[in-house]
Amino acid sequence: MTLHAISAPRLFDGVRYHNNAALVWQGSQIKQVLPIEQLPESIPCQHYTDSIICPGFIDIQVNGGGGIMLNSDTSPAAMQTICEAHRQFGTAYLLPTLISATPSQLAKALQATEQALNDNIAGVLGVHLEGPWLNPKKKGAHDASLFYAPEIESLEGLPWLKQGKVLVTCAAELMDTNVLRWLDQQGVILSCGHSNAQFDQLTEQKMASVSGFTHLYNAMSPFEGRSPGTVGRALLTDHAWCSVITDGIHVHPQSVLLAHRIKPEGKLLIVTDAMASVGSVDNKFELDGQTIELIDGKLVNNEGSLAGAHIGMDESVANVIRWGIEESEAIKMASTYPAQAMRCDDLGQLTPGYRAAATVLSNAYQSQAVLVDGIVY
Ligand SMILES: [Zn+2]
């Protein structure tokens, strides 16, 4: 198989920087990072001026893109459109995300994901089921009439994936501990979100099965002196990662910096929570029969509630750098850390043997190209 390469004045491999370096891969696997002058002339190389090559961005919460919502079109073709839309903004892999839906739609989303993985649709890492096991008091833009507390028997009936990753966001305070444990044992990655828990309701037994918290600060009981809430539990649970939306609208920049100061290294990661409008000229789309509209950069439903974000990964990374987080750390929050959170041990670093996945950013942090499984887009 032929070797291929890309090069740039700067390369960050997820651990350290290399100047004037080339990334070499064969098939879908990284072979080497080496100085450009040592690259054999026989290897075709695309050079990007004024750019940085970094590990491919991974977005674990993407409801839509390219004019399509996964909730409206729960198919492998829709997943492909969503991945293509987000590649323009630097995302190599993502979890198409289903907002609370009926059990039959959940089954359909799982089947469509299995099919997308079988068909090797570039960029699909698995699926994120955001609900419907959520707290109606923190419903956000979800349809609370779809919420319920599941039993193991009903979950056994779902076509869980044979490959790929499944992330489930649930309100852990409303879930039976045995149900959480059962999901964890199936390999489902559990994240607490749309939660109205009192601190003590998120018990140690429950947290033992919970790996993360979904969009920290948004749609969860807040931190207060007398009542630390879900936010307090999220910040104080060292083993759990927290995803955060960094569009500057959902969360104040200082709140992002506060979480970054409190969470152990690697446990704060960026998600977009993007909707159909990303990578599309349409500023309006439908969700559960309600119209979501883009107004002044904000996506709002008829009630005026925020309904997801209108942002891509590259801008999300640029924002946190602007707010004061180091460039290398910001990049890891969008690549290395989500890879670790999703237990992908061959993603998140530009290291020999890892999957050939990279994002090329301009010096202004705009995506120039994305490498996915050995193909440059
Ligand atoms: Zn949400």
pLDDT tens string 39-78: 999 999 999 999 999 999 999 999 999 999 999 999 999 9
What is the distance in A from the centroid of ligand 1 to the CA of 307? 8
Residue 9: how many CB atoms within 10 A of its CB? 17
> What's the confidence (pLDDT) of residue 102?
97
Per-residue pLDDT at 117 exceeds 90: yes
> What's the confidence (pLDDT) of residue 296?
87
**Known binding positions for Zn(2+):** 130, 194, 215
Per-residue pLDDT at 336 exceeds 90: yes
Going 136 to 137 to 138 to 141, the CA torsion angle's sign is positive
Tell me which residue of 371, 361, 367, 377 sits closest to 327, measured CA to CA. Answer: 361
What is the distance in A from the centroid of ligand 1 to the CA of 321? 24
Q: Token pair 């070499």 is at which residue?
A: 24
Which domains, and CATH codes, for the chain? 3-53+362-376 (2.30.40.10), 57-347 (3.20.20.140)
Letter for the amino acid at 215?
H
Residues 169-189 have a mean pLDDT of 98
Per-residue pLDDT at 1 exceeds 80: no
Residues 341, 60: contact at Cβ < 8 Å?
yes
Q: How far apart are CA 302 and CA 289, in angstroms?
A: 11
Where residue 304 falls among pLDDT bands split at 50, 70, 90?
Answer: confident
> What's the confidence (pLDDT) of residue 303?
83
248 torsion bin: left (phi>0), alpha (psi -120 to 50), beta (else): left
> What's the confidence (pLDDT) of residue 289?
85
Q: Is residue 132 reached through a cis peptide bond, with omega within 30 degrees of 0 on the bond before it?
A: yes
Q: How far apart are CA 73 and CA 85, in angstroms?
A: 15
> What's the confidence (pLDDT) of residue 305?
83
Where residue 319 falls among pLDDT bands split at 50, 70, 90?
Answer: very high
Asked which of 87-91, 141-145, 209-213, 218-222 is least confident by mean pLDDT, the reply is 141-145
**pTM exceeds 0.85, yes or no:** yes
**Known binding positions:** 130, 141, 194, 215, 218-219, 226, 250, 306-308
Share the mean pLDDT of the chain: 97
Residues 175-203 have a mean pLDDT of 98
What is the distance in A from the centroid of ligand 1 to the CA of 194? 6
Q: For residues 353, 359, 360 and 364, what is the CA-based torsion angle, rounded to 10 degrees?
A: -140
**Known binding positions for substrate:** 141, 218-219, 226, 250, 306-308
Residues annotated as part of the active site: 273
